[in-house]
Structure 1
Amino acid sequence: MDGFGIIATLIIGAIAGWLAGLIVSGGGFGLLGNIVLGILGAFVAGWILPKLGLYIGGGVIGAIINAAIGAAIILVVISLIKRA
């Protein structure tokens, strides 16, 4: 991955993590936490959404939406684990 790819991944991850923090109340972990959450969310969404038959368009907007959905799933799972 070149320098631009790494920067794009970090920006998309940060935006997705921030959006997931807004969607799931009480979520969000600061800038670095949101970047990590967004990147992990992209992996989760890339694994779960196709199994459910959901395909969101490509490009940067599609990547942000997919990563935000995955990050929101992660935040919900984390909140369920904290309650247990």
Structure 2
Amino acid sequence: MLKDGEFDIDIRGDGIEVWVTQMGDFMNMNTAIIDRTNKVVVIIDPFDSERWFNVLKNEDLCPTHLLYTHTHRDHTWGYKKMLELV
């Protein structure tokens, strides 16, 4: 289990990065798949959009795709805010 906002980052042999974190009151699992070469950033279930946006901005990255696994509130909470930020 990760601490709130802590990231586990795995860089694959092909350069694709997988970032996993847990955020919010429910400690929801959030994942980003990042391809820096093609400037693609996919965030899966971004609970805390502002935190994701700021962390990615510090890496000179911006979300290009949002993926929601299902419509429970704890998975869709950050949707509207993320659209405002990007």
Q: TM-score range, shorter-chain basis?
A: under 0.3
Between structures 1 and 2, the one with greater strand share: 2
The structure whose RCO (Cα within 8 Å, separation 6+) is larger is 1
TM-score of the aligned structures, taking structure 1 as reference length: 0.26
Between structures 1 and 2, the one with greater helix share: 1
TM-score of the aligned structures, taking structure 2 as reference length: 0.26
